[in-house]
Amino acid sequence: MAQVHFSAGQRRLTGGVAHTDVDAATVRELLRKLEEMFPGIRAHLDQTASTAIAIDGDIIPDPLYEPIPADAEVHFIAPLAGG
Amino acid sequence: MTITDQRPGYRYVGTRPVRHDGLDKVVGKARYAADLVLPGMLYGHILRSPHAHARIVAIDTAAAEAMPGVRAVITGADFPELPADDPERNTTRNLMARDKVLYEGHAIAAVAATSQRAAKAAAKAIAVTYEVLPHTLDIREAMAPGAPLLHDDVFTTGLDSEPSEPSNVANRTCYERGDIEQGFADAAVVVEGEFVTKAVHQGYIEPHACVADTGQDGKTVIWCSSQGHFRVRSQTAAMLGWDTARIKVIPAEIGGGFGGKTTIYLEPLAVALSARAGRPVKLVMSREEVFRATGPTPGSVIRLKLGAADDGKITAAKAWMAYESGAFPGPWAMLGCMCVISPYNVENFLIEGYEVVVNKPVNVAYRAPSAPMAAFAADTLVDEIARRLDMDPIELRLLNCPSAGDQAPYGPKWPRIGLRECLEAVRDSDHYRSEPAPGHGRGVASGFWFNIGEASSATVNLNENGTATVVTGSPDIGGSRASMALMAAEELGIDVYDIQPVVGDTEVVGFTDVTEGSRATFATGMAVVEACRDLKRQLCGRAAVMWDCDSDEVAWSDGQATHRAGEHEPLALAAITAEAGRTGGPLGATASLNARGAGPAFSVQVTDVSVDEETGRVTVERYTTAQDAGTAIHPDYVEGQMQGGVAQGIGWALNEEYIHDADGVMENPGFLDYRIPVASDLPMIETIIVEVPNPNHPYGVRGVGEVGIVPPIPALANAVYDATGARIRELPLSPPRVLAAITARNGDGG
């Protein structure tokens, strides 16, 4: 089960839930299951312009098909830019 | 000086060969986009808004089109309007205004003519009717009720409830952990303050320039200066409504970018003009245009409060952070929120960020974007805590230093990082161990930047004489040709000067993301290493053919194929390539990847300053910077990046700012009035390369281009306080501001 964490700003989409466990093999499956748990959240999280994902600390900018290892720690974070 | 955690015995990595492109640059042979002249080429000129905010009532180009030598005139009406959800919509509206101009310098129309003078005269003849609107340049003013509204379709996202009215606040972001009230209740010391920074420009020496040549087949070739020619291709295609296959982008040499050339300004305009005129068109910005129309980094207002226990442990942090984004929304406040307390382990915090549009050019990345402003607030207050507790500022930072497994404020756990090693390196440096000269003040600060991976491609071809060509898609903005050649030399076991590193155009190398986030040596280097390792497998196979044995019997070692059982004399790479035609054909390999595992970067810096109490002038007397490079592939260019970041940070801290008049017109769009530091303003910047290898890169690279600009602002502000007793929380620390602070400290009112 992946441990999925939400920032304070994202918790308005989860009814205040800060983290939850989800059984998902890929980010796509994770987003689908999160949408079932928190209707409307996918529209926010599925936009590469507004959200990246960190899986076990590795920040992935465009992660839709990314596999999620068992017991991974997942954070939805802002997409990074650089100079 | 280099401090190394652990390093294998490399033969080429870590050495300092003369860069392959060095001679051309020294003797003036390197070709920049503005140098290019094509047969029949026209010269373009852009008409820009004189107003900070105005509705475009009408544009009449008839007179301009009738002028001698004019071959094409275009306006926003010549470009398709992208859907509201298209990620490039704002880019296109920035490149050419549509219904409104949103800042002074916003492009309105462009002309191509047979001479620069004719183009300029024709642009002046374009009649634009404006309805001038109230403008807003200040974050706090733009956030206030009743402020002039830039966009009627921007509604604040990230709020608890959906807003019903449009706003200049594009986004609210929030990070929170622990119990902030308890955290402050546990504090023995609480410090707080409001910190203000101004918009500053990246200040690259080479203005934006491009040449576009559009053929009758509907295809175009663009020569331009950028940090990523594949992004130039995609953004140009989006603005024109073209398929990317119609566009080829050839990277010219780049004369500095620092984040400012991660987006486009000229290319679609040049293509459109060229297509209309049927001739090549060159567009070159003046320095004034660079200031008025290209992206500075945001100004900011940050309110920060920190609490610490009497042993120095930080117990709580509360931040309110507002960043300008210029004329269109950006990600800058979000990034600031993620960086502000990252060099510290804080269990209880609340960080809020606000993205605010104002009537200034659209903000663009500048080395570790948003982090320097955040560090100004955090590391100034950490300095105040150290003073209140009578602690050494580095020991205080070591006490609060995160390490692998700790949770970063923005969520994930830290991987192996080198902040502690950087702090210890500065603490143990000659600079820090010596007392400041009498009258000098000393300041310390730390800084964090993420670094990123993204997509890169590389092709490595072996020539028949045993030399190699390494082609990548990353423009060389900081010595990346040399670092690619060094990694290839290390892999293949051939001399670094037997490798020719080449920056390939969009048709000769695989897709490569823009050079940003300190990613080129990390990610593109990873692709080079992967291609070389593929080549080594091929070389072993060819040796097996020559020896008439199974390829499993062959290993690659130190630049040659060796027979594991020792039945054959080793074959050097050149001996194998010489026979390549007989053993299967040319030898080459390509690797494309999405690089993962970028290693976070930290820097710690100490500076000594003197302050002239009669004029307020700050002189930087000594400066030392330590930075975790992971592994320094070419130490000269790592040190160059470290020194460059510090130099730009010193300019940001002491002198640089956009100054506008009451009408929102920039008053200092040139290097005489917008003062970047020159060599005589700076001491020798001493460097300490710390090497805590990134375990996710074959040579341990982290990326070094950005984090060096994060600590200078607070380091200098802390040093000015140490020298004068005047705590200044607004940039720049220019003579008038420092003098005013000294006067206020003296309490003499004058």
Residue B604 has pLDDT above 60, yes or no: yes
Question: In this predicted model, what pLDDT tens digit does every residue of B398-420 receive, in sequence order?
Answer: 999 999 999 999 999 999 999 99
Q: Given a cut of 90, is residue B507 above it in pLDDT?
A: yes
Q: Which residues in chain A touch residue B160, judged by CB atoms under 8 angstroms apart?
A: 12
- When pLDDT is averaged across residues B231-239 and rounded to a whole number, the result is 97
The DSSP annotation for B379-445 comes to HHHHHHHHHHHT--HHHHHHHT---TTSBPTTSSBP-S--HHHHHHHHHTSHHHHSPPPTT-EEEEE
Tell me how far apart the alpha carbons of residues B674 and B143 are, in angstroms, rounded to a whole number.
27
Contact B413 A57 (CB under 8 A): yes
- How confident is the model at residue B749, as a pLDDT? 46
Pick one of 3.90.1170.50, 3.90.420.10, 1.10.760.10, 3.40.50.2300 as the CATH number of B33-133+202-293.
3.90.1170.50
Q: What pLDDT is recorded for position B750?
A: 42
- ∠ CA B529-B533-B538, nearest 5°, is 145
Does B706 qualify as catalytic in the annotation? yes
What is the pLDDT confidence band of residue B473, given thresholds at 50, 70 and 90?
very high
A43 pLDDT tier (thresholds 50, 70, 90): confident
CA-CA distance, B750 to B58, in Å (whole number)? 52
The nearest CA of chain B is from the CA of A74 a distance in Å of 8
Please say whether the beta carbons of B558 and B489 come within 8 A: no
Residue B724 has pLDDT above 50, yes or no: yes
Q: Report whether pLDDT(B8) > 90.
A: no
- The pLDDT of residue B345 is above 50: yes
Answer whether residue A37 is part of any domain: yes
**A45 inside domain:** yes
Contact A77 B410 (CB under 8 A): yes
Q: Which stretch of DSSP H or E encloses residue B108?
A: strand B107-113
pLDDT tens, B262-298?
A: 999 999 999 999 999 999 999 999 999 999 999 999 9
Q: What is the residue range of A29's domain?
A: 2-77
pLDDT tier at A34, thresholds 50, 70, 90: very high
pLDDT at position B6 is 64
User: What class has domain B417-444+601-750?
Assistant: alpha beta
Contacts with B, A 2-61, CB within 8 Å: 5, 7-9, 12, 49, 54, 56-61
CATH number at residue A41: 3.10.20.30
The mean pLDDT value for B80-90 works out to 91
Q: What's the whole-number mean pLDDT along residues B657-675?
A: 97
Residue A82 located in a structural domain: no
Contact present, B154 and B170 (Cβ < 8 Å): yes
Whether residue B173 and residue A5 make contact (CB cut-off 8 A), yes or no, is no
pLDDT of B158-176, one tens digit each?
A: 898 889 999 999 999 999 9
From the list A8, A12, A56, the residue facing B175 with the nearest CB is A8
Of the pLDDT bands very low, low, confident and very high (cuts 50, 70, 90), residue B476 is very high
What's the rounded mean pLDDT across residues B168-189? 96
- Residues A36-59 have a mean pLDDT of 83
Searching chain A, which residue's CA lies closest to the CA of residue B412?
A57
Instruction: Calculate mean pLDDT across residues B185-193.
Output: 98
Domain assignment of residue A83, yes or no: no
Q: What CATH number has the domain spanning B135-201+296-400?
A: 3.30.365.10
**Which fold, B453-595?**
Aldehyde Oxidoreductase; domain 4 (3.30.365)
- State the distance between the two ends of chain B, measured CA to CA, in whole angstroms: 46
Asked if the domains at B135-201+296-400 and B417-444+601-750 fall in one CATH topology, the answer is yes
Within a 10 A sphere around the Cβ of B127, how many other Cβ atoms?
11
pLDDT given for residue B398 in this prediction? 98
The ranges assigned to domains in chain B are: 33-133+202-293, 135-201+296-400, 417-444+601-750, 453-595
Judged by average pLDDT, the poorest of A68-82, B126-140, B309-323 is A68-82
- What is the ipTM, given to two decimal places? 0.93
* pLDDT tens sequence across B31-84: 999 999 999 999 999 999 999 999 999 999 999 999 999 999 999 999 999 998
Residues of A in contact with B411 (CB under 8 A): 5, 7, 54, 75, 77
Mean per-residue pLDDT of chain B: 96
Instruction: Retrieve residue B45's tokens.
Output: 């000129």
Q: Are B344 and A59 in contact (CB under 8 A)?
A: no
Region B101-118: mean pLDDT is 98
| pLDDT, tens digit (0-9, with 9 covering 90-100), for B577-600 | 999 999 999 999 999 999 999 999
d(CA B37, CA A2): 58
Residue B700 to residue B425: CA distance in whole angstroms: 19
Q: How many domains does chain A have?
A: 1
Task: Confirm whether A73 is domain-assigned.
Answer: yes
Which of A12-21, B219-228, B688-697 is least confident?
A: A12-21
Peptide bond into B438 cis (omega under 30): no
